[in-house]
Amino acid sequence: MNFAKPHGSAEIDDAEEVDVEGNIRELVQRDSIAFRQPEDTAEIVNADLNILLRRVSASSTREIDNLIAELRTFREKLQADGDRVQRDIAEYTALNQSVIQLTKIISDGMKKLPDGLTPVDREPSRNALRKTDVQD
């Protein structure tokens, strides 16, 4: 048993050692790339989350805009109805004033009639007019 190594075999061992070290370095680099991927994955997840949030917020924003448009429509309708009611009240007030004036005129006319006569008696009948016309 020869425990001594020839000089050439030592060179082969050194070459194998260099290959092993190179392989180790390569593995370390792969691992570091693998560790960096979660950061890239985290960035991708963040980007996906941002996109999702934009979609959700865009949907909410559209819904809010639709509600605002509906509220504006209701406001315009209320304004138009309010204007109509205001015109109707003005017309009613004018009509009411006319009725009050007519009632006052009729009341004043009734006060001028002789006492003891009812409104029917106070109206001259056609027959009464004819009798007076005939007597003259």
Per-residue pLDDT of the chain (136 residues; tens, 9 = 90+): 444 555 545 455 666 666 767 777 776 666 655 555 455 677 777 888 888 888 888 888 999 999 999 999 999 999 999 999 999 999 999 999 999 999 999 998 888 877 666 555 555 555 555 555 545 4
Domain regions of the chain by residue span: 16-113
Q: Which residues are within 8 A (CB) of 134 and not within 5 positions of it... i.e. 6 or more apart?
A: none
- What distance lies between CA 119 and its chain's CA centroid? 65
What per-residue confidence (pLDDT) applies to 122? 52
* Ramachandran class of 116: left when φ > 0, alpha when ψ lies in -120 to 50, beta otherwise: left
What per-residue confidence (pLDDT) applies to 69? 97
- pTM of the shown model: 0.41
Q: Which two structure tokens, joined as six digits, stand for 114?
A: 């002789």
